[in-house]
Amino acid sequence: MITCFILLNVEAGKEMDVYNALMKCSEVEGIREVFGQYDLIARVESRNLNELRKIIINKVRSIPGVLATTTLVTTE
């Protein structure tokens, strides 16, 4: 299992819309609103890097209001 944290830059005023859309993704284990360079951080688990790629491209980046993402893959 691969665990990663996705840092999201979100369009101003769209934070809760993006938060709610992320909550609908079964791979998202948790979300927090943060202050600073990023607006949201999501904890995601996937079976492998190929699945992670699909989650990021097809589920996270396709959410209206998401401007940019940075993905941090964790080690064991």
pLDDT in tens, 14-73: 999 999 999 999 999 999 999 999 999 999 999 999 999 999 999 999 999 999 999 999
Q: What's the pLDDT at 56?
A: 96
Asked if the 2-73 domain carries CATH number 3.50.50.60, the reply is no
3-state secondary structure the chain: CEEEEEEEEECCCCHHHHHHHHHCCCCEEEEEECCCCCCEEEEEEECCHHHHHHHHHHHHCCCCCEEEEEEEECCC
- Predicted local confidence at residue 75, as pLDDT: 85
Does pLDDT of 76 surpass 90?
no
Distance CA 48, CA 68 (A): 22
The pTM of this model reads 0.92
